[in-house]
């Protein structure tokens, strides 16, 4: 009954322009609430990180939930050259610089995924992948967009086994292989630039009579002899063995004829779908499945205190400069809402003890040399799981939440360490372990490697890997590590 009365007050106060609610009103509604966040941002791409800057600079407790795609789609970009005032650079480096800036202002990053939301009450309730319930005073939806699936035969069967969407994450599946890239847009060009130095041959399957990418992007492919084009074609199916594809069935839209092309991998590059599934029961969506915003120049949704920014709310522009502007506006809209409720100064201190502070992945110990790894094995009787990762690797970033969960699950059974592979002083350790793909997970017992897992994995897969490997069911190497 109390929450219903509070909700009535909330909507009454925020809908009447002649009434300005006070900090006392807000603190009354927040009484007894735990895990509070002033500004909760769902999504850690350019829109989400930009949205964090205004509230963090103003001293508000801001948490960015990274979810399954830390850094967003921009992490996969080979080159970013439309970021105003910044020399062209890789998407990963660009996002890494923005993340450092946001952290300097005091933003918190949570690797957990937001699994469900409840916007029918205030504070708004977010439920995380680890079961934690969050009470958010404002929410900014910045979940971006994902690669569209095409619906051809075998697409779901071979997705992740020969059909991919990330040129960087899945580049190992293109090495010395004949691959297909579907599409002729800028995203397709990005995929080709990421893979051209690895693949034996790249064939563009273009549904229309010409490439639709910008001329500046097309010029980047000039002179690449391993790139080929098939126009007015579309894939209608793929065939192969249980874990890999062998060929694609092609339909010629002009001649109405069918053909078969041998291929080892297919990379999808045919447009984006907004990641709005989380909000579809709570916020209105347009015909593109983008979150609808109020009319005007803000990022406000029809619910006061809920904002949306970036590709999840914009079906038209989808350029990084626009996305950054949207994110900044959303952060400022959050400030306006909090200011309306008088949630600054004394009122911020009043709820300080009840704020949600996400677990820090940096609390997992890092090692740098073979000697440190040997010492770690000597100091513990437990099996040792070592992750080799890079903060610039999108797949590695996705592993942060699963590793934190596994650390808790196996805290008395397995010790977890991390090795950052792009630090010069760790080259010897990386070479000794023959690490060629990241993320890589290597399980040691008494100084000996007993099993490894390479590439992106789910928490369930990692848990199963630890369970089976710890029982010694599979041994890959039996020689002790050598000191360096």
pLDDT tens digits, residue range 3-24?
445 555 555 544 444 344 566 6
Confidence bin at 234 (pLDDT 50/70/90): very high
pLDDT at site 476 = 44
Residue 110: how many CB atoms within 10 A of its CB? 29
Mean pLDDT across 182-198: 90
- Note the pTM of the prediction, 2 decimals: 0.74
Mean pLDDT across 430-457: 83
pLDDT at site 105 = 94
pLDDT tens digits, residue range 98-119?
999 999 999 999 988 999 999 9
Please provide the average confidence, as pLDDT, over all residues in the chain. Answer: 84
| Most confident of the ranges 63-72, 176-185, 417-426, 449-458 | 176-185
pLDDT tens digits, residue range 299-315?
999 999 999 999 999 98
Question: Between residues 2 and 124, which one has the greater pLDDT?
Answer: 124
Q: Which of 137-141, 348-352, 377-381 has the lowest mean pLDDT?
A: 348-352
pLDDT at site 477 = 40
pLDDT at site 206 = 94
Confidence bin at 333 (pLDDT 50/70/90): very high
pLDDT at site 481 = 40
Confidence bin at 129 (pLDDT 50/70/90): confident
Confidence bin at 427 (pLDDT 50/70/90): low
pLDDT tens digits, residue range 43-96?
999 999 999 999 999 999 999 999 877 888 777 676 777 778 877 787 778 888
Mean pLDDT across 229-253: 92
pLDDT at site 16 = 40
Which residue, 23, 36, 53, 120, is CA-closest to 353? 36
pLDDT at site 362 = 54
Question: Between residues 198 and 430, which one has the greater pLDDT?
Answer: 198
pLDDT surpasses 80 at 413? yes
Structural domains of the chain, ranges and CATH numbers in brackets: 2-146+272-354 (3.50.50.60), 163-268 (3.50.50.60), 361-470 (3.40.30.10)
């Amino acid at each position: 009954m109390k929450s219903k009365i509070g909700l009535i007050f909330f909507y009454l106060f925020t809908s009447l322009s002649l009434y300005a609610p006070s900090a006392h009103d807000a603190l009354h509604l927040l009484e007894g609430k735990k895990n509070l966040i002033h500004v909760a941002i769902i999504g850690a791409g350019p829109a989400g990180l930009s949205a964090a800057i205004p509230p963090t600079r103003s001293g508000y407790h801001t948490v960015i939930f990274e979810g399954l795609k830390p850094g967003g789609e921009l992490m996969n970009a080979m080159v970013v050259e439309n970021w105003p005032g910044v020399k062209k650079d890789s998407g990963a480096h660009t996002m890494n610089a923005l993340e450092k800036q946001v952290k300097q202002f005091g933003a918190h990053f949570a690797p957990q995924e937001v699994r469900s939301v409840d916007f029918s009450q205030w504070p708004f309730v977010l439920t995380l992948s680890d079961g934690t319930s969050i009470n958010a005073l404002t929410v900014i939806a910045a979940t971006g967009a994902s690669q569209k699936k095409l619906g051809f035969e075998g697409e779901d069967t071979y997705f992740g086994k020969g059909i991919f969407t990330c040129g960087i994450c899945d580049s190992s599946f293109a090495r010395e292989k004949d691959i297909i890239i579907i599409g002729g847009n800028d995203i397709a060009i990005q995929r080709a630039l990421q893979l051209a130095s690895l693949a034996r041959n790249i064939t563009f399957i273009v549904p229309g009579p010409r490439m639709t990418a910008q001329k500046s992007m097309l010029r980047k492919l000039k002179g690449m002899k391993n790139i080929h084009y098939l126009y007015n074609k579309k894939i209608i199916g793929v065939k192969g063995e249980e874990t890999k594809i062998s060929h694609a069935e092609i339909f010629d839209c002009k001649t109405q004829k069918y053909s078969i092309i041998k291929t080892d991998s297919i990379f999808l590059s045919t447009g984006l779908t907004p990641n709005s599934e989380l909000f579809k029961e709570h916020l209105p969506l347009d015909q593109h499945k983008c979150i609808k915003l109020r009319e005007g120049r803000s990022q406000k949704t029809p619910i006061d205190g809920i904002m949306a920014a970036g590709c999840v709310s914009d079906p038209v522009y989808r350029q990084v400069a626009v996305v950054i502007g949207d994110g900044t506006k959303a952060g400022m809209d959050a400030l306006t809402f909090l200011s309306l409720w008088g949630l600054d100064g004394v009122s911020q201190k009043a709820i300080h003890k009840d704020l949600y502070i996400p677990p820090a992945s940096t609390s997992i110990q890092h090692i740098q040399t073979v000697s440190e790894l040997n010492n770690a094995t000597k100091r513990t009787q437990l099996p040792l799981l070592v992750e080799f990762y890079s903060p610039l690797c999108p797949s590695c970033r996705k592993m942060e939440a699963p590793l934190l969960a596994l650390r808790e699950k196996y805290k008395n059974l397995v010790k977890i360490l991390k090795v950052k592979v792009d630090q010069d002083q760790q080259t010897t350790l990386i070479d000794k372990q023959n690490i060629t793909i990241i993320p890589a997970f290597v399980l040691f017992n008494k100084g000996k490697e007993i099993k490894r897992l390479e590439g992106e994995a789910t928490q369930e897969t990692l848990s199963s890997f630890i369970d089976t490997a710890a029982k010694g069911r599979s041994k890959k190497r039996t020689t002790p590590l050598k000191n360096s």
